[in-house]
Amino acid sequence: MARYDDSWTILSEKFRSVLQVIWDMAYSGDIEHVVILNGPAKQSVNNWHGGFAATAISVVATFFAHDPDFGDPSQHIEFSKAMLKKNQFLYNQNRGVDSKAWSSLWRALFVLQAFAHHFNYIQGQAEVPSLDNEVEGPHTALVLACVAVCHILTLVAENKVVFQPSGLGNMWTTVIPKGNQYKFNHTVWGATTCCYLDPIKDLSHEHFALFVEETQKFIKKPVSNLNARDLGDDDSSYDKLFAFH
């Protein structure tokens, strides 16, 4: 999904064919199987999507929790509203209110940390070279990282989020109202996704590579590398098998 223009959906036949390529590569003909679209495969995509939102929420909550200037919830709202104006949250250098003075678009720490979710999710998975030919990099993952940060900042700006101390140092828990309108999904965030997609797709290969390089410091070190053949029969194993990129 990270390499396709539509970051929320993929045509069923295309999805099935990609999964078949992954299966055939992972098992190298040892286990013959015709892939059908079912729960485990789709759930893995849902987990990948949801991970961007979860990471962005955690990053913003941690930012507020560790800065004594944000002890008052009203300051969370004020900060979020300011960051959303002219997409200020997307710039790494964004001091002041003059957008012409801002620089390093797409390289804000919030965005890069959310972008790291993609690499953490696919870490340790087998490469599928035949899928790498379609596009140069996971541009769509960067798009979703931007949208996920916009999502949580919007909820905070609209006073729809409650941050609560968890009792574990400066760690906070985040409470978001139930309802489709508060979720990170295509219905609410599809239009915003499209707005970010074209300019990110237009980035040069060299420019995009810089973002990936800067993101490395937020990627977790692997505990172990599991081969698909060692995953056993548990259904949860399929989540990792279909964690394609």
- pLDDT tens by residue, 33-74: 787 766 666 777 788 899 999 999 999 999 998 888 888 899
- Res. 149: pLDDT tops 80: yes
Q: What is the pLDDT of residue 42?
A: 73
Please check the confidence at residue 165 and state whether its pLDDT lies above 70: yes
Bridge partners of residue 105, in order along the sequence = 91
**Alpha-helical segments (H) within the chain:** 12-27, 39-66, 73-84, 109-122, 139-157, 186-201, 205-215, 237-241
The pLDDT confidence band at residue 225, using thresholds 50, 70 and 90, is: very low
Cβ count within 10 A of residue 83: 23
Short-list 113, 76, 106, 77, CA closest to 91: 106
pLDDT bucket at 239, cuts 50 / 70 / 90 = very low
Instruction: Please report, rounded to a whole number, the percentage of residues in the chain having pLDDT higher than 90.
Output: 53
Phi, psi of 171 (to 5 degrees): -85, 135
Model pLDDT, residue 221: 75
- Can you give the pLDDT at residue 34? 80
Residue from 88, 86, 90, 115 nearest 211 by CA? 115
